[in-house]
Amino acid sequence: MEEKNEKSSLMHEFKEENIQKPNNMKYIGIFFVVALLGIGTGFGLTQMTNANHQSGNPKTTSAKGTSYGVTNTKEFPDQAEGLLKKGGIEGEGAFHLERPGGDTQNVYLTSSIVDLSQLIGKKVRVWGQTQSGQHAGWLMDVGKVEVL
């Protein structure tokens, strides 16, 4: 066996000039690029989501023929049309449609899909699902609205 030289050991001394210092500017730059990409991605996704879900929130511009809500009305087979007014009856419905024939012909409405408050005072056609009510002659959960 060879004798080990005391000068050769497993540990070596490094001179400071041989040590590479981390480039902080490089890491800061990477951080900002990643942050900007994340913000851009989030913004883009919200814009796509808002474009696909115009349905639920009619803005102040509700032109004749404009529809809001679901496109597939299979889940909302019932239809009614009339002048949309605020207020239910005895706690049932938040809105109602005034139709010819007086108060007995009113359709009382609720909706978790369409913001009906933006269409008060407009003549509309609604698609919904009839619900059982204690006081309302016709109580409907609205899924789609078309401005007439």
Domain region containing 108: 58-147
Q: Are residues 88 and 136 in the same domain?
A: yes
Which is more confidently placed, 126 or 14? 126
Q: Are residues 133 and 71 in the same domain?
A: yes
Per DSSP, the three-state class of 40 is: helix
pLDDT digits (tens, 9 = 90+) for 121-139: 999 999 999 988 888 889 9
Q: Are residues 34 and 68 in the same domain?
A: no
Say whether pLDDT at 15 is over 90.
Answer: no
Per DSSP, the three-state class of 83 is: strand
Q: Are residues 45 and 65 in the same domain?
A: no
Q: Are residues 85 and 45 in the same domain?
A: no
Q: Are residues 64 and 44 in the same domain?
A: no
Contact between 46 and 124 under an 8 Å Cβ cutoff? The reply is no
Domain count across the chain: 2
pLDDT digits (tens, 9 = 90+) for 23-79: 778 888 888 899 999 888 887 777 665 444 444 455 555 678 888 888 888 889 999
pLDDT digits (tens, 9 = 90+) for 111-123: 988 889 889 999 9
Residue 78's CB is within 10 A of a number of other CB atoms, namely: 17
Say whether pLDDT at 84 is over 50.
Answer: yes
Residue 20 CA, distance from chain mean position: 50
pLDDT digits (tens, 9 = 90+) for 85-106: 999 988 889 999 999 988 889 9
Tokens for 42? 């989030």
In-domain check, residue 4: no
pTM above threshold 0.85:
no
Q: Are residues 23 and 94 in the same domain?
A: no
